[in-house]
Amino acid sequence: MIPSSFPPKDEIARLTARMLLEIGAVHFNAETPYIYASGLPGPTYIDCRKLISFPRIRSTLMDFLAVTVMREAGFEAFDNIAGGETAGIPFAAFVAERMALPMTYVRKKPKGYGRNARIEGAMSEGQRVLLVEDLTTDGGSKLSFVDAIRETGATCGHTAVIFYYGIFPETEKTLGDHGVALHHLCTWWDVLAEARAQGAFDAGTLDTVEEFLRDPRAWQAART
């Protein structure tokens, strides 16, 4: 079923943050920072993959994501929904079902045998493709997926994620310079506000998280 009427963007952000907290997808640790893929530390970690195991929350968020994309990009803006390997695959399937569109997925690299393909499923020249992922930090990982889609002759000018860090100012420029608009449901700022409202973590931890969010590069530099 194609969703058409849902709460305004700020309420979607608050509810998304609430759901992520409810299922334990949000991790804050002021004493022992997490190490990110970049090798740098941080007091925050988000696990959006957990959402696939919670059908009521998963269904609501996929409705939110579909309606956000349609509101911001257009109701007839896409011909194909592509998921990025691997976290984006289930979410792309859910969004494609809601928008009544074909679904494909993009490998991180060619599989090395057979057709040596990066695109799985049917994607054709001229199709307008929406790239769906679970989250984005600085936007860089999306570019390879976008390029693989464009190599088929399709276009990809939009990516949609459940969670956007919202703390690295270069993210939207990185994507924008590549001709890609970003659509998202919530950011770390929404999660922090909801965590404070709920008292989900102690005040000291939340203060440390806020310090990190306000200047993540300086926070990391002081601890490396």
Phi-psi region of 24 (alpha: psi -120 to 50; beta: other; left: phi over 0): left
Task: Say how far apart CA 131 and CA 89 lie, in whole Å.
Answer: 10
pLDDT above 70 (res 17)? yes
Instruction: Name the band, by pLDDT with cuts 50, 70 and 90, for residue 124.
Output: very high
CATH number for the segment(s) 9-215: 3.40.50.2020
Task: Say how far apart CA 5 and CA 217 lie, in whole Å.
Answer: 39
Q: What is the mean pLDDT of residues 42-58?
A: 96
Tell me, what's the pLDDT at 110?
Answer: 81
Instruction: Give Cβ neighbours of residue 135 (< 8 Å, ≥ 6 apart).
Output: 46, 48, 87, 161, 162, 163, 164, 165
Residue ranges per domain, the chain? 9-215
pLDDT above 90 (res 168)? no
pLDDT above 80 (res 38)? no
Instruction: Name the band, by pLDDT with cuts 50, 70 and 90, for residue 114.
Output: low
Tell me, what's the pLDDT at 64?
Answer: 96
Residue-wise pLDDT tens digits, 172-185: 999 999 999 999 99
Whole-model pTM? Answer: 0.94
Task: List C-alpha distances in Å: 98 to 57, 94, 218.
Answer: 15, 6, 42
**Look-up: residue for tokens 């494909």?**
104
- The β-bridge relationship of strands 41-42 and 34-35 is antiparallel
Tell me, what's the pLDDT at 199?
Answer: 96
Q: What is the mean pLDDT of residues 60-79?
A: 96
Question: pLDDT averaged over the chain?
Answer: 93
Tell me, what's the pLDDT at 116?
Answer: 67
Instruction: Name the band, by pLDDT with cuts 50, 70 and 90, for residue 169.
Output: confident
Task: Say how far apart CA 204 and CA 222 lie, in whole Å.
Answer: 18
Which phi and psi angles does 141 have, rounded to 5°? -70, -20
pLDDT above 80 (res 2)? no
Instruction: Give Cβ neighbours of residue 121 (< 8 Å, ≥ 6 apart).
Output: 102, 103, 104, 105
pLDDT above 80 (res 1)? no
